[in-house]
A = this chain, B = another copy of it.
Amino acid sequence: MPRSRSIQLPDPVGLHLELDRSSPVPLYFQLAQQVEAAIAGGSVVAGARLPNEVALADQLGLARETVRQAYGQLTDRGMVARKRGVGTVVMSGYVGRSLGLSSLYDDLRRANQEPSTTVLGRRVTPAPADVAAALQVPPGARVLAIERVRYAAGAPLGLLRNWLPETHTDLSATELTEHGLYELLRARGVRLRVANQRVGAAAVGARDARLIGERRGATVLTTERTVYDDNGRPVEFGRDVYRADRYYFEMTAAVSAPGTRSA
């Protein structure tokens, strides 16, 4: 039985962490980011134990709750699992790409797939009934309808159709060609909060097929999505169609239950 300073079997991992107390970025967030980077970067292996809360709080001069908040964030994202009496362990199988509000554009860019976009159409038009319902505007209200094709590695990946309420009818085709839609909205001060998405499969129609370089009737992945801002107002409704041979969704879900604090 080892006395004071010797370490046990699954020894806590060594991390060099540096917090900037003068930064506007919250301390718990800085900490979470750095630990996440260590995990994603491979410098902390799956199965490794992270330092316990008390020790880490002490080492960093933080309160224990602050460390817990950071660790809790990693728990929510499924990067680590925590158990009483045991510790905080790095999960295996983390794919990193939970279904956030990052657009496909962001995803691909991250994967160095060099995505590009062609804007097929951009016009202000009266909202069809289903779009109006999703955007919570009166049927026939002016909305911006956008149609784009996304390419990756030079070949078409999917067809993106978006509708935006009147507030953003001034988005230009140029902007849309060069930036992701959510990126543009964020730049305009829109704070995206929640997305509801429905993912299904279908046989593609003739026109859509042509646009994405498929045969009519080919299998495609379809999504329908409404995104809300922090006022709870719908800011985008989208219907996308992806080539099944070139795209899939990947997501990570972590359970939440008592004993599985969110922070």
Contact = CB atoms under 8 A, between A and B. Distances in A.
Contacts of A197: 250-253
Interface in A164-192: 192
B230 A201 contact: no
Interface string A219-263: 111100010101111100000000010011111111110101111
A29 B261 CA distance: 9
B198 A249 contact: yes
Contacts of A73: 256, 262
B232 A90 contact: yes
A1 interface: no
Contacts of A260: 193
A186 to B, nearest CB: 10
Given A230-B81, A249-B200, A254 B193 contact: yes
Given A198-B248, A199-B199, A258 B26 contact: yes
Interface stretch (A95-103, A117-125, A139-147): A95-103
A65 to B, nearest CB: 8
A113 interface: no
Contacts of A248: 198-201
A78 interface: yes
A85 to B, nearest CB: 12
B25 A201 contact: no
A93 interface: yes
Given A73-B262, A194-B253, A202-B219, 15 more contacts: A73-B256, A81-B231, A83-B230, A91-B232, A93-B228, A93-B234, A95-B196, A99-B251, A192-B255, A193-B255, A198-B251, A199-B251, A201-B244, A201-B248, A262-B263
Contacts of A194: 78, 81, 91, 93-94, 252-255
- Most B C-beta atoms less than 10 A away, residue of A93, A256, A263: A93
B253 A100 contact: yes
Contacts of A234: 92-93
Contacts of A203: 219
29 contacts: A29-B258, A46-B232, A69-B261, A76-B256, A77-B256, A78-B194, A81-B232, A90-B232, A93-B226, A93-B234, A95-B196, A98-B253, A99-B251, A192-B255, A193-B254, A193-B255, A194-B253, A195-B252, A197-B252, A199-B248, A199-B249, A199-B250, A200-B247, A201-B202, A201-B219, A201-B221, A201-B222, A219-B219, A262-B263
